[in-house]
Chain A
Amino acid sequence: MDKKMGNTKDHRADASGENAMNQQKPENMLGDEQRVKVLSPGMMVLKRFLRNRLAITGLIILVFMFLFSFVGGILAPFRQDQTFHTTEIMLKEYAGATRNAELRYVTAPESEFTKSAYAGMILAKNNGETSFDSNGTHFAFTLLGQDTFLIEEAKPLAEVAIRKVLFGYKTAPGFTMPEGMKQAFESAYKAGEDTFIFEDEAYQIFRTDLGATIGKTRASALASMKIYDVARPEDKALIDSFDYRMAAEQAMAAGLEAFEHDGVIYTLVEDEGSYLITYASGNGEAETFGAVSEMIINAIMPDVFLTMEFKAEAAAAINDGLSEFNYNGQRFRIDLVHRTYNIKTDTETHVLDMYHAPDSKHLLGTDQNGMDMLTRLMYGGRISLMVGFVVIFLEMFIGILIGGISGYFGKWVDTMLMRFIDLFNCIPYWPILLILGSVMDTLEVDSYVRIFLLMFVLGLLGWTGIARVVRGQILALREQDFMIAAEATGVRVSRRIIKHLVPNVMPLLIVQATLGLGGIILTEATLSFLGLGVKYPLASWGSIINAASNPYIVTNYWYIWVPAGLLILLTVLGFNFVGDGLRDAFDPKMKR
């Protein structure tokens, strides 16, 4: 100690000696340029800060981040929720084909072959019978060809009550029986025949207990397994008409190669159970009229009309057991799924441009919603930084208030507030945040409200550290001479706190706040990563990197998660560097 004091004394002596000399020599007079430059405390801090390379690095990083987030968002060519689309070739279901397994029928004109009649026919067919009754009408059917049936109905025209030689006629409404017909019937009945002919038409006789019923049979319907397609839609009515079908079925059953309908000769070309129907058009060339097959082929895609040629091609391919076929230069694939053939083809589809690799339009690619990654990162940065600043200001506000009161008033106020801080500190930080996040998930809170709640809770849980620092500083400052002087000169309490204490606490507070910002950004990012923080459609860096919880994305799309992670790392690093640099600059005695 003695030695030190001695030194100081010597130094003083030197200085005074120099002064004396200066006064003697005019060139050594105290001019402005000779005076030792004394910097203000603020300038000293700035100088020391600027000399610290890590701190400057941190500052540059932070300036970049702010420009990136707040200016970048303005300059970005895209909106943050703008989605991008692309067309993609996808193998899509084009048509479905099944082998027809049920009889389809066409009804003859003026015939009333109803659905219930059809059901009755199927029942009779399965029971091995050839006739059935439905709705009071008697039907009989005959096999025309393979799985092709002609159904005839017998319409009762008159009931005849016969007693010995007396015939009593009771005709159906709207039918009058001419005398000649009665005679024809009577003679046929007596001869024991089942039919009789009158005026070139055949009538049936059904014998009953009381006598007989006279009926007239006529074709009612044609049931077949075959599916008919037409080349031109306007021919649809023709091909579905009973007469046309009848002619065609009869020709097919007989194995003929042509048939005639309405004066036109149609040619049948057989190909493994399917037929192509052609006719000679006006100029004599064979033109396709329709096709017959046992396949039902329907379009699956909307806005697709299946042409007859396509259906024929598909049916032929299925019959041949092929797995692929070409039509019109397009490749079709056939998949058999439980008796249904799915015909698939490559189709151009308009889809979200997901996970687009980085290129000149999207510098960092696009994310899972087809949004531009770079733009999302810019807007995400805004939220991440904003959350950090709002929370730290909230923490500072509460911390300075509680810490200031505690430190300034001391005594029981201090003890009480410090215990309160102890109590507050014991609130489990992460469990509470996670509970709130889960609750907000369950209640489906709006994403904007979420951010405000998140900031509020983070601020509320984090102020105690700042309060402790402020209190410690103020406790120390309160005892210093300048405070006693301020009290002695009668400065108001509020003014003493605001003018004299707070400016002295400020440096440490700024350091605390800068270091704290990094921590808050990390907390928010972690919460968002876990899916409990900022939610879609808003983004923060943490919620952007949330996609990385899927290993598939980690493996294949580095540009989805690496940039966001780097931005968080760099920003937090920047705040820590600057905070450290500020601490060193404010108090050079304090070690890093």
Chain B
Amino acid sequence: MSKFIIRRVFLAALIILFGAFIVYAVIRALPSSYVETIARQRATMPNSKSYADWVAELNALFRLDTDVFTGFAGWLGDAIRGEFGNSWSYGIKVTEKFADVIWYTVALNIITFILQIAIAIPLGIMAARKQYSKMDYAITFFAMVGISLPSFFLSTMLKYVFSINLGWFDLYGIVGRYHEQLSSWGKLLDMAHHLVLPVTTLTLLSIGGLMRFTRTNMLEVLGADYIRTARAKGLPENKVINRHAFRNTLIPLVSYMSYLLPSMFAGSMITETLYQIPGIGYIAFGAIRAGDIPFTMFYSVFSIVLTQISLLIADMMYAVVDPRVRIN
């Protein structure tokens, strides 16, 4: 087992290196006029460094004057020491900005995650228990709609109904107009109030997938012989479902959910942008749009690392949940 994990971690590290290299190469391969345009734009801003200084800073940070491999090695050396440079659009250290905003994302995603599980799993089980019933069709249909809904359309509709027509929520942002005058408890409530629509959007979009996943696995388990045995020996249906069937669907479910865990930090770029929640997704979106290369580089590497960690966790959770995997 430990040998497997070590090999897996090693592989993950290799993949992260490669991914970072790809992003670095893509940024380097950008037409040089792009970099120059960005530098020129930045130089025209008030109190800014001169154009030559910007180009020099860019060269120093990304070693554009050397070849790709030396440049990447140099960048990597800095990155391992936690030096990602200063963000161009936010003016402070990239890591500092990251530490400022990551918690909005985490809060948003943890709430969504809990809601998603609480809604999707019971519904998925319900659909599987009464396969081909009206209930099943309805749940399948709504799961499909949830998967097919464009996030921007859903959020626009939610805003139209709840923000514009009913006036219950603000259109944008994480804090209200009078946030600074509120007590600390009030501030928390204010933020929670602003998170309602984003959480609703994310939840509605994500329950479809989990619901279908639960239903498929549940159906597989319900068709197994040991369920028939359990029913044959006269166990009450609830016990059959909860004790025998559900526990066995947990294997794929746990690995699926452990896969979701690290993505909580990656941020939901689109939804955060639509509601202008200043989490890592929205901030990164702004940085990429503004041509903020240090932040873009950092965010890309960060999301690669997260993907690898989630794959790693999923693999390990498989082993934890399923003894058969452990023996192999």
A residues engaging B (CB < 8 A)? Answer: 54, 422-423, 425-428, 430-432, 434-435, 438-439, 442-443, 518, 522, 525-526, 529-530, 542, 545, 548, 551, 554-555, 558, 561, 565, 568-569, 572-573, 576-577, 580, 591-592
Contact = CB atoms under 8 A, between A and B. Distances in A.
Interface string B39-73: 00000000000000000000000000000000000
B157 interface: yes
B26 interface: yes
B4 to A, nearest CB: 16
B156 A591 contact: no
B307 interface: yes
A580 B157 CA distance: 27
A427 B150 CA distance: 23
A89 B136 CA distance: 57
Given A434-B288, A442-B291, A569-B145, A428 B304 contact: yes
B72 to A, nearest CB: 15
11 contacts: A425-B307, A428-B304, A431-B288, A522-B150, A548-B152, A558-B160, A568-B153, A569-B150, A572-B149, A573-B148, A577-B144
Interface stretch (B12-20, B94-102, B230-238): B12-20
Given A439-B31, A592-B216, A569 B23 contact: no
A431 B284 contact: yes
Q: What are the 7 A-B residue pairs with the smallest beta carbon separation, nearest first?
A: A565-B153, A572-B148, A426-B19, A573-B148, A434-B288, A431-B300, A428-B303
A253 to B, nearest CB: 58
A37 B36 CA distance: 72
Contacts, number: 126
Contacts of A592: 140, 212, 215-216
B152 A438 contact: no
Contacts of A530: 270, 273, 285
Nearest to B22: A427
A432 B23 contact: yes
B262 to A, nearest CB: 13
- Interface of B, secondary structure class, is helix
A580 B137 CA distance: 13
Nearest to B273: A530
B148 A569 contact: yes
Contacts of A565: 150, 152-153, 156-157
A438 B19 contact: no
B141 interface: yes
Q: Which of B159, B285, B289, B308 has the most CB of A within 10 A?
A: B289
Interface string B147-186: 1111111001101100010000001000000000000000
A439 B34 contact: yes
A422 B144 CA distance: 29
A545 B154 CA distance: 12
Contact of B15 (A422, A525, A529, A591): A422
A561 B307 CA distance: 34
Contacts of A434: 269, 285, 288-289
B33 interface: yes
Given A431-B296, A592-B215, 15 more contacts: A422-B15, A427-B19, A427-B304, A431-B284, A431-B303, A432-B26, A438-B288, A438-B291, A443-B37, A545-B156, A554-B159, A569-B153, A572-B149, A573-B148, A580-B144
Nearest to B274: A549
B279 to A, nearest CB: 14
B148 A423 contact: no
A558 B144 CA distance: 25
Given A423-B18, A435-B26, A554-B159, A576 B148 contact: yes
B144 A526 contact: no
A529 B151 CA distance: 10
Contacts of A558: 160
Contacts of B18: 423, 426
A548 B160 CA distance: 10
B34 A442 contact: yes
Nearest to B153: A565
B27 interface: yes
B151 A431 contact: no
B30 interface: yes
B78 interface: no
B76 interface: no
Contacts of B157: 565
Interface string B257-271: 000000000000110
Contacts of A572: 147-150
B37 A442 contact: yes
B38 interface: yes
A11 B304 CA distance: 59
A591 B213 CA distance: 11
A591 B150 contact: no
Nearest to B160: A554
A548 B156 contact: yes
Among B23, B152, B308, which residue has the most Cβ atoms of chain A within 10 A? B152
B153 A431 contact: no
B30 A561 contact: no
A518 B209 CA distance: 14
A239 to B, nearest CB: 54
Nearest to B291: A438
B277 interface: no
Contacts of B26: 432, 435
Contacts of A430: 269
Contacts of A426: 15-16, 18-19, 304, 307-308
A561 B155 CA distance: 12
B202 to A, nearest CB: 14
B219 interface: yes
A439 B140 CA distance: 41
B152 A573 contact: no
Contact of B149 (A427, A431, A439, A569): A569
Contacts of B322: none
Interface in B277-318: 284-285, 288-289, 291, 296, 299-300, 303-304, 307-308
A522 B146 CA distance: 12
Contacts of A580: 144
Contacts of A435: 26-27, 30, 288, 296
A231 B288 CA distance: 66
Contacts of B144: 54, 573, 576-577, 580
B38 A442 contact: yes
B22 to A, nearest CB: 5
A545 B149 CA distance: 14
Given A430-B269, A568-B150, A554 B307 contact: no
Contact of B19 (A423, A548, A577): A423
